[in-house]
Chain A
Amino acid sequence: MRKKSRAAAGILAICGMFLGAQTAYAQVEPGGWTSYSPGYNVQLKGCGQTNGLTFTLSCSSTSGEQRAERRFDTYTGGTRQFEGSFKITSMGGTRISLKQTFRESPSAGPYFIMAAERGGRLYSVEGGATIASGATVGTSVRVNTVNQVGNTHRTYINGSLKNTVSSPSGSYYDKFGAYRTNSGNGPITVTWSGIQFWRK
């Protein structure tokens, strides 16, 4: 019995060695990426609240700044990749920004905004293009954004390319959470997970 246990433990250990090696070689988009952990601060305004990676706008106000977001460090040049998954557990409102790539210079302003509409059943980007419709509320949605500064900014939803815009030279930063856009309102509760950053 003891021998069987040892043999099983040995097999599991060997499995772990091989599976661990596969994980280490997992790729996201073309290679050459280096994982890093940018610093961030939490921005809370109006009825915005956070609890870890859960972000809530508790009010339905259609005016004022309603925000619960993580704002990451600014970068200049190069190529940066953001990965994360969000799950909307409840959304009575519409047009709430979930992920922003914000341009800081030479002219500051929201450069790319991915928003949820109609109770979390539609996802759109700034300019109005719908990138997912008929979404199932309560399931996780994976987002990868690749900002190749001076070239293009690409957005993948659940692994598929959904949006490409040009990316002028300058400084940028990532934000995610929940933020009322000019034409939107809460309430919403969204939970993010699996946050990773790469650069090259």
Chain B
Amino acid sequence: MRTRILLLVVSLAVGGCSASAEPGVSLTAELVTPVDVELRWTGSDPAAAGQIVEFATEPQGAYTILQFVPPGQTTYQHPDLMPETTFYYRVRPFYGAASAPLDVTLPPGDYSEKDQENDHEWAPPKVVPGAAAEKQPSRTAVPTDFAAKVMHANGIRFTWTDHANDEEGYLLEVEPQGGTEFTQAMVMEPDVNSVGLITLPEEKSATYRVRPFRYGPASSVPHQLTGRAP
């Protein structure tokens, strides 16, 4: 009888080691070639602002973000992987209210040597003291006063008023003119309300927005052992 109880406890314990409590997203990882993994998932929260796809090579992490993906995306390809290595994957939603979008058009010109010699004091993410603002959870804390100042032909300083009281950070998002969706250009610490962005060539005309964010629960965590390199 004691043996049975011990076996039951061990069984429950081992079974409980690999699964987080009732993950909302069910994730599968398929080795489609010896060094390519395809991820597929179901159960995404349509109310999320987006999702992050992460990987690790040990079961307890550390996890690295592979990509921010839109809320509707349910697949991801992780190609040309390190051979004979175990990869662990998870997907997490993130939530947060975005500012009103802001269109910015930059003067023509490449990232010149003169521009590069700019000291860029305006670029590091900063918390600039301002008037006291009413705070609320990040899901409803729309940043206000979102403004852009063109600093040179490939550099923009953004400022806004932070209204969030529980954010894990801020995201600066960009959609180049002619694009179809916003992507994340920068992740910042909580409470930041000023940052500079060096633009990519395709962002001469683009739309920007900022949002405070919090991550939601992690998906199930499948893993795959890659094969020998081709």
Contacts and interface: CB of A to CB of B under 8 A. Distances in A.
Interface string A18-31: 11001100111111
A29 B64 contact: no
A161 B60 contact: no
B59 interface: yes
Contacts of B17: 15, 18-19
Q: Is the interface of A mostly helix, strand, loop or mixed?
A: mixed
Interface string A119-141: 11110000000000110111111
Nearest to A162: B80
A144 B82 CA distance: 9
Interface string A133-158: 11011111110100000000000101
Contacts of B83: 29-30
B21 to A, nearest CB: 14
A14 interface: yes
Contact of B9 (A11, A90, A119): A11
A159 B78 CA distance: 8
A88 B225 CA distance: 30
Contacts of A91: 123, 198
Contact of B82 (A15, A28, A59, A90): A28
A62 interface: yes
A138 B186 contact: yes
B66 A158 contact: yes
Contacts of A7: 9
A84 B9 CA distance: 38
A118 B111 contact: yes
Chain B interface residue bracket vs A? 35 or more
B116 A136 contact: no
Contact of B186 (A137, A161, A189): A137
Contacts of B59: 19, 22-23, 26
B198 A92 contact: yes
B80 A161 contact: yes
A119 B123 CA distance: 9
Nearest to A160: B80
Interface in B38-90: 55, 57-60, 62, 64-66, 68, 78-87
Given A22-B58, A28-B85, A62-B116, 4 more contacts: A60-B118, A119-B123, A140-B65, A187-B123
Interface of B: 9-10, 12-14, 16-17, 35, 55, 57-60, 62, 64-66, 68, 78-87, 111, 113, 116-120, 123-125, 154-155, 169, 183-188, 196-200, 225, 228
Interface of A: 7, 10-11, 14-15, 18-19, 22-23, 26-31, 59-62, 85, 89-94, 118-122, 133-134, 136-142, 144, 156, 158-162, 185, 187, 189, 193-194
